[in-house]
């Protein structure tokens, strides 16, 4: 039997709070008090109540296994170690926190947390609810800082869980024998700190993203697994599996990566307690509790029914919710059966480049310039202790080590196989492997304990006489492992003055003329502009339209509802009838102050105009030059419909113009270049690769202005522009390096 104790009180208490929360979430208006204030608070409280379902807190295993007989001292010391880990990591994360949104979808998560919009699939509704509650109850600080601080909190709590996992494993390795309590605590602290200051963890602890919360739930799942392993035969031991089932359901409202551990738990039960595997009460209870956690996903559907401004996929039905979670928008499936068809070389790329390289980043060393593994950072010392810990784990308790190693395989090879990363993928994927890095950190803790326990005995010292040697060794290991990890990664993750993403969104909007329509391309230009416009109220007169989302009916309907002044002929009936059409190459005539013709050469489909192309043609034709139309510099050379030759450069945007004489406005370009906020591009803090790439968009306007000053002989303004450039960009050769180059050559440079 699974030794389950009925967790009725907690279950019904949580449900009594969750149900009214879901009801309030559906009550219009979309930005009403009940749906934006009351509902998130009730839901967060209800689900938090249910997390420790049926589990009574107990002290960490007894002091009888320690060399000291005073278990109370040990208990206090253990708690002190956990508190120390939390305080140190939380303070460091706060010191290095982004002051504004980060790149990619960070701005989207912050904006959606405030508005309770439906984020891009598969969503992270739990993060949005917690973010909304945080925004409500903390009256000070900016919204971005408040949400970013949540990431620091989640990551610090995850480090504390790593500390307790390490301690529990060390105690299980020495059950029935003597153990040094101080060595256990110090080993747990060093494992947790090393983990907290690795590149992959620290990076996600300082800006809004779903991976910090997913990391915390993943660490809790591993803790529950090893705790159940030790307590499977005790009364109520099966309740740890119920709590794991609830976390699995709840975690799908954060991120789906941790669901890879579901098969591991089945294997775990089969190895540790085969009889429990046949216990119908365990299965029934786990399924019910799992769906209780999964019920948070209903919140996405209920919000979609109120049609918020951010409403990806419009999942307002159960079928729509399933398609949303299953990534149907991207024509892929979370539960796809085509994983045997690899999208890239398995060993050469998916294992070596997209996993082992990340493992090397975090435990060997990282070359921050090109994000390759380098021994000059941490000199490979952490991975050495991890290998020692792995060997010690197998020697001291092989069955326990096999269980933990199976979990590691699911978190590493299992994730590699499931993710099936295409060759040459444009984005780093280390965020999906952080649980495997956590397990390596635990093995580092085991290796540290082996050194602390056995080294003093090499000097033939034991008891009190070994303490000086013990503390010397502990100090040396602390410097070599956690402190060296901190030192090596501090500069890469110190974002306290990095305003680059937030400033980019504001600068992008400020580049537009009054009442402009701004066409954006990717995540980093679209979401930063959304954040600046919706949260900071910057240039609310500008309408931001993402060109790729124009291919979806739900986005077109959102534009109809929220931006009725868009100049187009679209209606809901027309939207439903849209389909790609053959590109005949005919010129489209746009009337206005001057007639204007162009050939709609689609850059997306060679022989067809896809839906977004047709929408853009409709907007340009219907607008008749009444409103300025601008394209984000994020398009680079790929301005839709090959329209770049009809655009003029106004800094961070390309403005569509009807005739040649309007295709350069040096006065406006000069005004924009002078008023841009360049904070975060250069300084004592590190600019991440995405930031480096996005901020290069400023160079188009700066170089064109420099060329104009050079051609006109205005040396005073050229020197002033050069000084500004040198303040914000550290590029060998300076501004002169780019003069005379075309845009492709500048991009290559």
To the nearest 10 degrees (0 to 180), the angle between helices 143-173 and 181-196 is 140
pLDDT tens digits, 358-371: 998 889 887 655 56
Strands 588-590 and 543-546 turn out to be unpaired
- DSSP letter (8 states) at residue 51: T
The phi, psi pair for 647, rounded to 5°, reads -115, 155
Distance of CA 472 to CAs 378, 451, 461, 477, 558, Å?
Answer: 20, 12, 14, 9, 64
Distance in Å from the first CA to the final CA of the chain: 66
What does the DSSP assignment read for 222-266?
HHHHHHHHHHTTSTTTTHHHHHHHHHHHHHTTT-SGGGGGHHHHH
Provide the residue count of the chain. 749
Strands 588-590 and 596-598 turn out to be antiparallel
Asked if 351 and 429 touch (Cβ cutoff 8 Å), the reply is no
Report H helices in 329-433: 357-363, 375-378, 381-396, 398-409, 415-419
Strands 581-582 and 588-590 turn out to be unpaired
pTM score over 0.85: yes
For residue 745, the Cα-to-chain-centroid distance in whole angstroms is 32
Q: Which pairs with CB-CB distance under 8 Å and at least 24 residues apart come from 616-619?
A: 616/519, 616/547, 616/550, 616/640, 616/641, 617/588, 617/641, 618/568, 618/569, 618/570, 619/517, 619/566, 619/567, 619/568
- CB atoms under 10 Å from CB of 577, counted, come to 8
Tokens of 552: 């979806």
Nearest CA among 287, 289, 329 for reference residue 123 = 329
Q: Which residues are CB-neighbours of 617 under 8 A, at least 6 positions away?
A: 588, 600, 609, 641
Tell me how far apart the alpha carbons of residues 693 and 671 are, in angstroms, rounded to a whole number.
23
Whether cis (ω within 30° of 0) applies to the bond prior to 749 is no
Tell me how far apart the alpha carbons of residues 681 and 692 are, in angstroms, rounded to a whole number.
8
CA 265, 267, 272, 275 torsion: positive or negative?
positive
Q: Where does residue 501 rank: exposed (0-12), middle (13-18), buried (19+ CB within 10 A)?
A: buried
Question: What pLDDT was estimated at residue 123?
Answer: 84
CA 396, 402, 404, 405 torsion: positive or negative?
positive
Strands of 469-593 (E only): list them: 517-520, 543-546, 581-582, 588-590
DSSP 3-state assignment of 605? Answer: coil
Tell me how far apart the alpha carbons of residues 419 and 362 are, in angstroms, rounded to a whole number.
20
Tell me how far apart the alpha carbons of residues 75 and 63 are, in angstroms, rounded to a whole number.
8
Tokens of 670: 């000069």
Question: What pLDDT was estimated at residue 174?
Answer: 75
pLDDT tens digits, 304-332: 999 999 999 899 899 988 888 887 665 55
Whether cis (ω within 30° of 0) applies to the bond prior to 29 is yes
Q: Which residues are CB-neighbours of 286 under 8 A, at least 6 positions away?
A: 241, 242, 245
Q: Where are the domains of the chain?
A: 8-493, 500-665
Question: What pLDDT was estimated at residue 262?
Answer: 87
Partnered with residue 588 across adjacent β-strands are 598
Distance of CA 606 to CAs 344, 603, 641, Å?
Answer: 25, 7, 11
Residue 740, sorted as left (phi over 0), alpha (psi -120 to 50) or beta, turns out to be left
CA 197, 415, 283, 289 torsion: positive or negative?
positive
Q: What is the 3-state secondary structure (H, E, C) of 641-707?
A: HHHHHHEEECCCEEEECCCHHHCCCHHHHHHHHHHCCCCCCCCCCCCCHHHHHHHCCHHHHHHHHHH
Distance of CA 22 to CAs 29, 39, 265, 731, Å?
Answer: 15, 7, 30, 53
pLDDT < 50 stretches in the chain: 1, 56-73, 465, 589-605, 684
Tell me how far apart the alpha carbons of residues 669 and 705 are, in angstroms, rounded to a whole number.
7
């Amino acid at each position: 039997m699974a030794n389950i104790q009925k967790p009725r009180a907690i279950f019904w208490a949580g449900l009594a709070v969750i149900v009214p929360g879901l009801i309030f979430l559906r009550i219009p208006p979309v930005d009403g008090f009940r749906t934006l204030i009351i509902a998130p608070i009730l839901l967060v409280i209800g689900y938090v109540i249910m997390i420790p379902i049926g589990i009574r807190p107990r002290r960490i295993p007894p002091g009888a296994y320690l060399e000291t007989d005073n278990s109370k001292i040990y208990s206090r010391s253990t708690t002190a170690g956990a508190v120390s880990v939390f305080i140190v990591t939380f303070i460091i994360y706060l010191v290095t926190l982004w002051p504004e949104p980060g790149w990619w979808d960070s701005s989207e998560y912050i904006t959606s947390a405030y508005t309770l919009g439906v984020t891009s699939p598969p969503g992270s509704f739990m993060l949005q609810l917690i973010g909304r509650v945080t925004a409500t109850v903390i009256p000070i600080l900016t919204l971005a800082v408040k949400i970013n601080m949540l990431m620091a909190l989640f990551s610090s709590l995850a480090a504390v869980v790593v500390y307790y996992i390490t301690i529990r494993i060390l105690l299980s390795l020495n059950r029935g024998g003597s153990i040094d309590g101080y060595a256990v605590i110090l080993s747990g602290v060093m494992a947790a700190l090393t983990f907290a200051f690795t590149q992959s963890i620290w990076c996600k602890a300082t800006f809004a993203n779903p991976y910090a919360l997913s990391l915390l739930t993943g660490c809790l799942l591993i803790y529950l697994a090893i705790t159940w392993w030790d307590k499977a035969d005790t009364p109520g031991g099966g309740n740890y599996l119920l709590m794991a089932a609830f976390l699995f359901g709840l975690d799908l409202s954060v991120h789906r990566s941790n669901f890879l551990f579901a098969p591991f738990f089945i294997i775990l039960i089969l190895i540790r307690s085969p009889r429990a595997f046949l216990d119908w009460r365990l299965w029934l209870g786990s399924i019910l509790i799992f769906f209780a956690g999964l019920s948070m996903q209903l919140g996405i559907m209920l919000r979609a029914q109120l049609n918020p401004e951010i409403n990806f996929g419009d999942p307002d039905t159960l079928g729509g919710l399933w398609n949303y979670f299953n990534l149907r928008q991207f024509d892929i499936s979370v539960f796809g059966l085509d994983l045997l068809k690899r999208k890239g070389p398995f060993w050469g790329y998916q294992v070596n480049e997209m996993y082992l390289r990340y493992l090397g980043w975090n435990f060997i060393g990282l070359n921050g310039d090109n994000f390759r593994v380098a021994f000059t950072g941490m000199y490979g010392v952490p991975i050495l202790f991890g290998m020692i810990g792995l060997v010690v784990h197998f020697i001291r308790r092989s069955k326990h080590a096999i269980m933990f190693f199976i979990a590691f395989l699911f978190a590493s090879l299992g994730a590699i196989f499931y993710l099936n990363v295409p060759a040459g993928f444009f984005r780093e994927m280390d965020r999906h492997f952080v649980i495997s890095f956590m397990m390596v950190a635990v093995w580092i803790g085991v290796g540290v304990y082996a050194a602390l326990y056995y080294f003093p005995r090499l000097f033939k010292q034991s008891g009190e006489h070994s303490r000086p040697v013990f503390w010397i060794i502990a100090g040396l290991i602390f410097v070599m492992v956690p402190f060296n990890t901190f030192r090596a990664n501090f500069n890469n993750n110190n974002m306290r003055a990095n305003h680059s993403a937030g400033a980019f969104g504001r600068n992008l909007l400020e580049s537009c003329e009054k009442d402009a329509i701004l066409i954006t391309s990717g995540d980093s230009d679209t979401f930063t502009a959304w954040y600046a416009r919706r949260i900071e109220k910057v240039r609310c007169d500008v309408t931001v339209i993402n060109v790729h989302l124009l291919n979806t009916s739900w986005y077109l309907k959102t534009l109809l509802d929220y931006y009725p002044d868009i100049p187009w002929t679209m209606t809901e009936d027309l939207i439903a009838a849209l389909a790609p059409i053959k590109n005949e190459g005919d010129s489209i005539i746009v009337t206005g102050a001057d007639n204007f013709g162009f050939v709609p050469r689609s850059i997306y489909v060679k022989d067809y105009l896809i839906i977004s192309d047709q929408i853009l043609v409709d907007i340009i034709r219907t607008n008749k030059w009444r409103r300025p139309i601008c394209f984000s510099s994020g398009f680079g050379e790929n301005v839709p419909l090959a329209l770049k030759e009809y655009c003029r450069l106004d800094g961070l945007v390309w403005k569509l113009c009807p005739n040649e004489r309007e295709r350069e406005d040096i006065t406006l370009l000069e005004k924009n270049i002078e008023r841009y906020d360049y904070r975060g591009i250069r300084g004592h803090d590190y600019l991440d690769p995405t930031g480096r790439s996005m901020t290069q968009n400023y160079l188009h306007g700066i170089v064109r202005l420099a060329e104009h000053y050079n051609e006109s002989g205005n040396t005073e303004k050229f020197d002033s522009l050069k000084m500004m450039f040198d303040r914000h960009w550290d590029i060998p050769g300076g501004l002169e390096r780019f003069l005379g180059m075309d845009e492709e050559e500048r991009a290559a440079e």
